[in-house]
């Protein structure tokens, strides 16, 4: 990859592992560990982020801190289903079938980050909702809402938000 300022020869290597312990009453504990490493000279937009909904800590904004070295994220979630097997139809285009919630805690190790924070460790907690169903008969689709709170707020901007909200829509086209 090349960019206009000369940086850009790089690679991002990542791996993750997770496990789910089923609990009674449509509940479970999820543990996940993810590690990413950068090789080369990536442009800023390609570096490893502290915050984010999928590969970051959900209690931090996506640009709160970045590193071009290494990132490790450990996550613990208590997942629970409010209901499953429903068939709530919204005008034929959306069928809502399941609603889940999750308490989460993340610990992120981000050495060499671009902030004035003394520690490379960041911690956050929060709660998320998953609205799962079909969109135009394509399943699964999910609307995801996560609200996170950083436990050690530290960012490269002084106006870091005290609460972070991530809203996303996921659609898998492999199951229709």
Name the pLDDT band for 124 (thresholds 50, 70, 90). Answer: very high
> 45's torsion region: left (phi>0), alpha (psi -120 to 50) or beta?
alpha
3-state secondary structure of 59: coil
Q: Look at residues 88, 82, 61, 60 and name the one whose alpha carbon lies nearest to residue 151.
A: 60
47: helix, coil or strand? coil
Q: What is the pLDDT of residues 11-49, one digit of tens each?
A: 989 999 999 999 999 999 999 999 999 998 888 888 888
Mean per-residue pLDDT over the chain, rounded: 86
Q: Is the pLDDT of residue 175 over 70?
A: no
Show the beta-strand stretches assigned E in 24-120. 27-40, 48-49, 66-67, 70-83, 88-90, 94-109
Cα–Cα distance measured from residue 100 to residue 81, given in angstroms and rounded to the nearest whole number: 4
58 alpha-carbon distance from chain centroid: 6
> 69-91: per-residue pLDDT in tens?
899 999 999 999 999 888 888 88
Cα(98)–Cα(2) distance, integer angstroms:
44
Q: Kindly report each contact of residues 161-164 with a partner whose C-beta sits within 8 Å and lies 24 or more positions away, as own/partner.
A: 161/61, 164/51, 164/58, 164/59, 164/60, 164/61, 164/126
Identify the band that residue 110 occupies on the pLDDT scale cut at 50, 70 and 90: very high
> What is the predicted pLDDT for the residue at 5?
57
Surface-to-core class of residue 171, CB atoms within 10 Å of its CB (0-12 exposed, 13-18 middle, 19+ buried) = middle
What's the chain's Rg over C-alpha atoms? 18
């Amino acid at each position: 990859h090349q960019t206009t300022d000369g940086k850009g020869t790089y690679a991002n290597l990542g791996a993750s592992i997770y496990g789910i312990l089923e609990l009674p009453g449509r509940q479970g504990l999820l543990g996940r560990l993810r590690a990413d490493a950068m090789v080369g000279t990536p442009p800023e937009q390609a570096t490893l982020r502290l915050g984010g909904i999928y590969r970051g800590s959900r209690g931090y904004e996506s640009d709160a801190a970045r590193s071009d070295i290494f990132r490790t994220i450990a996550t613990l979630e208590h997942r629970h289903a409010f209901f499953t097997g429903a068939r709530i139809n919204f005008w034929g285009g959306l069928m809502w079938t399941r609603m889940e919630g999750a308490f989460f805690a993340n610990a992120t190790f981000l050495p060499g980050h671009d902030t004035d924070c003394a520690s490379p460790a960041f911690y956050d907690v929060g709660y998320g909702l998953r609205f799962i169903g079909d969109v135009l008969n394509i399943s699964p689709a999910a609307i995801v809402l996560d609200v996170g709170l950083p436990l050690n707020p530290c960012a490269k901007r002084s106006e870091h938000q005290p609460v972070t909200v991530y809203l996303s829509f996921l659609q898998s086209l492999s199951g229709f």
